[in-house]
Structure 1
Amino acid sequence: MGNAASMVAVVVVLLVRAQGGCRYALGMEDGTIPDSDITASSAWSDSTEAKHGRLSTGEGDGAWCPAGAVFPSASEYLQVDLRSLHFLALVGTQGRHADGHGREFARSYRLRYSRDGRTWITWKDRWGQEVVSGNENTYDVVLKDLGPPIVARYVRFYPLADRVMSVCLRVELYGCLWNDGLLVYTAPVGHVMHLSGSPVYLNDSTYDGSVESGVQFGGLGQLFDGVLGGNDFTETKELRVWPGYDYLGWSREALGQGSVDIEFHFEKTRSFHTMQVHSNNRHTQGVRVFSKVDCQFKPGLLLPWSSPPLSLAVPLEDLKDPSSRPISLPLGGRPAQILRCQFAFADRWMLISEISFYSGTNSLFSSVLSLLPSLVPPEPPTTNPMMDNTGNSTLSGERGRGRGGGKRERTFPLITAILIGCLVGIILLLLTVIAVILWRQYWKKILGKVMEEGFQHDFQNARLSQLFHPSLHSSIPPFATSSLLPLPPGCGMDLEKGLPPTQEEPPPYPDAPPYPALSPPFPASVPHYAEADIVSLQGVSGNNTYAVPALTSTSPTAADCTPLPELPRHCLVFKEKLGEGQFGEVHLCEIESPQELPNLEFPFNVRKGRPLLVAVKILRPDASKNARNDFLKEGKILSRLKDPNIIRLLGVCVSSDPLCMVTEYMESGDLNQYLSHRVLLDKTGPTHNTPTISYPALIAMASQIASGMKFLSSLNFVHRDLATRNCLRPIKIADFGMSRNLYAGDYYRIQGRAVLPIRWMAWECILMGKFTTASDVWAFGVTLWEMLSVCQEQPYSNLTDEQVIDNAGEFFRDHGRQVYLSRPDVCPQGLYDLMLSCWNRDCKLRPSFAHIHSFLTEDAMNMV
């Protein structure tokens, strides 16, 4: 059975990879793609809305036509949702013919695509060109090969024009399902080889992810584009490209280590049978096939790596042959969702052109279903002109052999028996899942009833809709609460609401060490706010950046709000996009002559003639009125934050769209990335080439974070998202973390809407949606744990997101079953005691930031 599944997987991979066998029309023309999956930025009328943008059809007025002009903004688009990842090799476009009455078409267009609906990538051809030539008339279909091909679920067509004119568009997509299931791969950036004085660029030029610190991550590129490099890597199959284009290559000397580490992230867990790596072996020029591969397997995103790793040696019999060749490596059917392989150098250079995985989903039932097409011949295609004969003949050959002699009669009963067994197993599994869901719903209702009886008035005032849409009862984790303890006063309940006093204060967690010196209680007037008490803003980055008390005319801080400095928009020179949030984007920009702008918020120590790097938050032009108001409020709030350890607002551009906020930018990056590439320096000194950091340096940085948070708390500001990813170097507290794809895994998505950093959140934040200075203290404890762990893993990395929420319920019940982050190996016990005090169940017993800052500057520095 395993061999048969591998055979089918091989056929599928070949169909996907060979561009000639993956050019099937995906359903715009024949209606397979429903109207609901075709959307647009706008439409001229009901008869030209998105659903009419189907190739070679004449419904409505004959095409999709945007309401706005596409010149010069180029912001109108037609979007197709394919419902799952597809490998796209070809696109077709057409104008509006309407039986001779139409005159509109697009002479060119841009393509943007996304795999998750959040991160959008602009397609570029192999020479870096974004603009695709389109139609010359209203009726001809123009087909364009996508080189490189696209792996995406969503595709957008942006029609372009060189002057003000009407455009209309009809489209079709050609490709096939992306059965590989690969979402992204991470690899070192390729290097440049110099041969006879000429450079050979061995970079991954079509990679559609990000690059940071010499590592490319979050995307796909040349290793999975279906193009195999030749024997001579200086010669390419494409015209007008540079030598080395077909390969991704690394120098052992430039990389500084004996292996190339590549990590593959798949959509779901799969059983890996074989990995095939197409490698160059031009040994006369110092290039050889890798000598060994060590692979680790991770069954799930939050599960540990399976042990032991798989070590595979490469046969060396014919390596004197300089020809490039595919190396097949047996993986033994091991299950994994993440696969990390180390390819050992055999010479000075290693060049890889393509990597293929022969695998199947981790299910015997899936293997059986994949075999059924080889047993039952499908209906032959009739009208699809793009169907490729190679793909059909391959499958037909397998079917022909299946019908030969009596072989099928012996195989089919076995397949049927296995299929029936699998179906029975799946039915039992579904019944079990249904039972679990009903059980959890039952306890959810009990919790809701108890909460309603005990805390009804306070829950109404808390209004959790800001975080948990659409209702409280659909969002609170379903904890078994047969005997609920009362909440400590102040932890998620407003002290001013006049709740009945608790009869007995619940004790802290069992066996908790005393903290007389580490956890002085907050004063009775400690601020803590429900949604009704604060100005709660949905920031550009997608998170509630700062939660602040609602200002009144008599508020002492209200008088401090000075007019925001307006900066001339033309002085901002775009460099790169740092991140993207729900309502806008964060860009890295350059101010070329900052000294010539006297209205900057404060002077800079920038030498004359040198530009100033800044971060610019940009609100999308189509943002709602509420989002625009929040943007302006956020700017006013940030303008009040003047502390050396807080990112400063330098100015705004609000006189015209798009609205912008200009803030400081630290060129050294964030603290998470800085620490994750270092090891803690111990008393024996450095033992390897990895950069180090000392314990006093960590404490000094933690002290600066505490100082910045002390300033925020003095203004009754609540940050809500304190973590190392939101601390820039030199230490300044910011809020860009949520907008960056790099940290998408640190946030938990609630019903497809809000995203929350639950691993850094206090239990009362998760359950009650109440954010206070005390909950920021909890997050500081987690941030301190990250720093002492040198950012090598996520908090609670052994728990799933659901288990983290369940753990918040254990804090609520206080039965002694709550789980704490363990003490890092290099963390002194006294410093770990400080962390534990930050995670006290009773928020009133957590230390203040003033006390934390004092402890870190006076006591922690002497601990070893």
Structure 2
Amino acid sequence: MKRQWDKHFPLLILLYLVGDVTSQVNPGVCRYPLGMSGGQIQDEDISASSQWSESTAARYGRLDFEEGDGAWCPERTVEPDSLKEFLQIDLRSLHFITLVGTQGRHAGGIGNEFAQMYKIKYSRDGSRWISWRNRQGKQVIEGNRNAYDIMLKDLEPPIIARFVRFMPVSDHSMNVCMRVELYGCEWLDGLVSYNAPAGEQMSLEGQPVHFNDSVYDGAVINSMTEGLGQLTDGMCGLDDFTHSHVYNVWPGYDYVGWTNESFPNGYVEIMFEFDRTRNFTTMKVHCNNMFTRHIKAFRQVVCYFRSEADWEATPLSFSPVVDDVNPSARFITVSLANHMASAMKCHFYFADTWMMFSEITFQSDTAMYNTTLAPPKTGSGPPTSTQPGDDPTHKIDDSNTRILIGCLVAIIFILVAIIVIILWRQVWQKMLEKASRRMLDDELTASLSLQSETFAYSHNNPSSSAPSEQESSSTYERIFPLGPDYQEPSRLIRKLPEFSHSSEEAALTSTVVAVTASKAPTATFAQDGVPHYAEADIVNLQGVTGGNTYAVPALTMDLLSGKDVAVEEFPRKLLTFKEKLGEGQFGEVHLCEAEGMQEFMDEDFSFDISDNQPVLVAVKMLRADANKNARNDFLKEIKIMSRLKDPNIIRLLAVCICSDPLCMITEYMENGDLNQFLSRHEPEGQLALISNAPTVSYGNLCYMATQIASGMRYLSSLNFVHRDLATRNCLVGKNYTIKIADFGMSRNLYSGDYYRIQGRAVLPIRWMSWESILLGKFTTASDVWAFGVTLWETLTFCNEQPYSQLTDEQVIENTGEFFRDQKRQVYLPQPVLCPDSVYKIMLNCWRRNTKERPSFQEIHRALLESQT
């Protein structure tokens, strides 16, 4: 599996370079091997304090490689309390490192040396070295127990560094050898340090709550200087600051906070130093807003910029909307108006007694200057190209400039050639797939379950045929290599009862999608005379998030969108921005107030407020520079959304399409999404009375779940496949009203709910059915599976992720158990509040055979009966 990863790594780098760049680091996704095992890190960038022999030099310390004598081995034995020996790696630029791997010297059974323990030191400039400590202050990392197994260790907290040293540790004199790998991603923010006042202490109900930056790696006396810490660790604090993502830590751990009593000027000054001069576009600040505890996001921020030696005289000022309604923590995006700077000094003004930040990130383009940076100063570090007597800050002469330009042109030509080769291979692969489909037609017959009543489901005629399961192709790449026991699809298909010749189940999608570690193969075929869905039967709407809003049958879309758009143009000037809900590949989603919206609504729709009050709406905005396909998809989505009229589906209210940027205005419910709503509440009972927390009764939970089922029943009657049903995509209004939406994928808050495949496709695998993950098959039946998970979330008050005890890889492996159907698959456990009858509904939603899963009409009826 590692070799396969190494094979595709250059492609990932290319996709990374040409794709969208974001400064927001997600430690759960930023786990790519940085090149020790793959060879991207060159031999000259690997050095060591000493070596036993030339065949155990530093360059042989690569994970899972057996060159030389099989590992790096220092010249001397490692003694207790001695940190003289180290293996050093130069990454050539700053990286965000989340994981390390170590291995001993095996050498085909000849070697048996390994490091049982080790420490890590790192540096951003090559001169100041920092000892890594975990969140509890421990430096020593448990190493290997034998010479051949790879031991992976998460770095909590992660580190931001260019240079990393592995330093073997032992409690007795012993010989050690090491092979290592670093995992992470490039540190695109470019931030090398922030200076700020030290965090302060709050007294809460007589108990101290500390808001210090406990992982800051600079100097901390009265203030923090020349370091990075919790504001750059990629972890956003929770709405309630007394809770944390991290176990065994104190209340307030995720936040750095200050009280205005300590700052007579009314602001906190934070200075940011960067690796080079950059062109800054935005700064994102994650703030707590628990105003009931006198905590609010900043009232105003004033930023000063330094590009050379002096600070600019004219600062930039930004004032966000002060929110006294929603206590949720949130990112506030500050536009930096393309200022050029290598340092930034920002004054954050208090809006209440306390101000708390958990994360600050930057987006910028690196400025191009015709100067070189001074080489890093390293004690026994990697060699540099500087010759004795050279001035390390001299300007590049003309000959060097020509060489640099020539290298850049060559790199561009190579990248273009790689792109052409990739596109050619994809076209060739599609041709082979079409040929294989024709060959398989002689062996396989399968029904697509495409019934005559494709467009609507008659509620008045129970005997009429149920809506068909429409499939949509998902073209993300294979994520695991084919195992040695891979079988041809035609042979496999005879062994699966669900897809046998006599089965009437729907055909597999025509796109070969994924084979997991369980070695579950995929197949491609269709019934004679019936067109493949991948040949244009499905319209996949990109939406502003870059993901599919709904998978819509093409004929259904034609029926729905044959008329003009049934919504009116809304004046942009009547929209007032409140906050950004999320962003994606093609646009953004904003929370706004709309004045006079009642005048633009149909007679069958009304707001539960007076006519002269502004209405809270969500505005999905397409970027002005979006490509033609994205614009067409956006307009198609408007047409389709304008026809969706159901009390449990978010309603399209109006549009702004006469000029760019294109906007669609939809409902937004005042209580936010169901996930956040339930996480702020407790079940009724004695515990809730003691904690004085707001409660939701079991009856209201069932009432909300029934509404979700009703909304999905409406969508399935039109053969719409949602593909991302979850509590994060259900909005809550007054009196526990629920409406289904699609904002979840675009929100940073839920980035951990989506699994990134090879840095490209993003999938909610913990909510997806086994056939969606393994076979790329999305149907109404897969939506039913997701509903079962959503029902489980609801009855657990969203206190944890589905399958929280499993890693993402184990979740995928579990789908392989569903595929094999040998009774080893893991199901979500029955929630405490859940009666047997409702848990049976969940289990029915998770049946392996899609035909055995209930329809949404049956689920809706069963939930209604469970409440009587």
Shorter-normalised TM range: 0.3 to 0.5
TM-score, normalized by length of structure 2?
Answer: 0.48
Q: What's the TM-score, normalizing by structure 1? A: 0.48
Q: Which has the higher contact order (CA 8 A, sep 6+)?
A: 1
